[in-house]
Amino acid sequence: MAGSPEQFRGQSRLPRFAAPLRYDLVLRPDLAACTFSGSGSAAVAVSAPTRFLVLNAAELAVDRSSIRFQDWAPTEVAQFEEDEILVLGFGRELPLGEGVLSMDFTGTLNDQMRGFYRSKYEYNGEARNMAVTQFEAADARRCFPCWDEPAFKAKFKITLEVPAELVALSNMPVVKETVCGPLKTVYYEESPLMSTYLVAIVVGLFDYIESSTLEGTKVRVYTQVGKTSQGKFALDVGVKSLDLFKDYFATPYPLPKLDMIAIPDFAAGAMENYGLVTYRESALLYDEQLSSASNKQQVAITVAHELAHQWFGNLVTMEWWTHLWLNEGFASWVSYLAVESIFPEWNNWTQFLDETTSGLRLDALAESHPIEVDVNHASEIDAIFDSISYDKGASVIRMLQSYLGAERFQKALASYIKKYAYSNAKTEDLWAVLEEETGEPVKDLMTTWTKQQGYPVIYAKLNGQDLELEQVLRHFSFAYYLLLLCTGNWV
């Protein structure tokens, strides 16, 4: 491939002529200076003739003198911040097959609650910083240069250099720690194939409580020092949810451990990072003396939702963000299934109507969007994390389960998980498996629900002795929607 790095400027997706296989990543967060440095190498498979490597990087200072592919230094290095890409040009075509790309870089532990950021907490009356990652949807590139799209799955081997007194967590269990003066180096097991947005790191002072699943998987809840009693309820729900999902999806939990941790400054309610789930404190902690019943239910739903993602989202991942609803709709639906099983006295499926109503409210607007919405650029992704992907998605899944029957639906989902484990899938892939397993025209039925916005409204009227039915797709303007909210009336 001839040309210059400029040919990649303005492209919304990464080219496919090279893809990562494994990352070996060393990170050194400096919590006092609110900075970090890193060294990374990636085993890369080159599948088509090219003299370029194109990957994502944003808000990072890459040491250009450190960049190597095998023993070659690039002849051209271009970092396009507006496109969040790093283009490396070499003097000749790269050999087909596997090679190793390596580089050093530095960045800032920002206060924006995305990428690799700092969160404030108090310990013994002293203000401190912890280091936290939040990479969904497209912010791993703010921590290390990478192929930051969900279809570029790879294995990760992470090493952290941190102050010796701190707890350092990542997706996988610790292999070993070595202490040298005030610092320690923590080495973690290599992960299975996973997408970059699921990589997680947390460094700070924490306590934890621990339990195990029936199969012996270690489950921990980490909290600020002195708050572990508030993590007991979430720990119980987490252990029971893992056991339930293992049986429901007919696939064991894929990792050797699961950590759940409460973060003081956290933008989302929770994030399903593989093996290290991060939560806003109010979404994980429950105080038996002070918390409300609704808070208890919300903790249960949130924990079940995030742990469902360990299968639906992490083990099997959407191919691109257009199919986000496969992650969020299914996790929302199956979280209610899990909580209904754990706490049948809550009548959880009755409360699920709140999810349906939330989706209907947003979907009634002319400004709504289909469940499957085309995403052309990383900057568009955050806009679809809404009630359409979560609540309408969960509602149409429950509708489909009712149509196919609970047992047939469960068996078909288990087949889907097995077929696409450690890989990526599109909505059409799910429909194909469901059709193959049940013999029902699932794609024709469901496409009308996922590819167009709005929902059908049926009007009935008497015409003499005849009852006439009319089905229409209705939308309302946002102004009319606000009027309905203010008056309390609906049509």
Q: Which residues are catalytic?
A: 306
Residues belonging to the chain:
491
* Distance of alpha carbon 470 from alpha carbon 337, whole angstroms: 34
305 labelled ligand-binding: yes
* Distance of alpha carbon 188 from alpha carbon 162, whole angstroms: 14
The answer for residues whose C-beta is within 8 angstroms of residue 345's C-beta and 6 or more apart is none
Burial of 102 (0-12, 13-18, 19+ CB in 10 A): middle
380 labelled ligand-binding: no
The answer for residues whose C-beta is within 8 angstroms of residue 301's C-beta and 6 or more apart is 335, 336, 339
CA-to-CA dists, residue 92 to 19, 65, 89, 203, 408, angstroms: 19, 18, 9, 42, 55
369 labelled ligand-binding: no
What 3-state DSSP class applies to 489? coil
User: Tokens for 277?
Assistant: 């789930």
* Distance of alpha carbon 90 from alpha carbon 103, whole angstroms: 15
The answer to whether 194 touches 140, Cβ cutoff 8 Å, is no
User: Tokens for 263?
Assistant: 């973060």
The answer to whether 119 touches 266, Cβ cutoff 8 Å, is yes
* Distance of alpha carbon 285 from alpha carbon 260, whole angstroms: 11
Amino acid at 112: Q
Q: How many other CB atoms are there within 10 angstroms of residue 249's CB atom?
A: 23
The answer to whether 161 touches 27, Cβ cutoff 8 Å, is yes
Q: Which residue reads 């902690």 in tokens?
A: 285
* Distance of alpha carbon 54 from alpha carbon 8, whole angstroms: 8
The strand ranges marked E within 124-182 are 126-134, 155-163, 167-170, 174-180
CA-to-CA dists, residue 97 to 20, 94, 422, angstroms: 11, 9, 21
Annotated binding site: 305, 309, 328
Known binding residues for Zn(2+) are 305, 309, 328
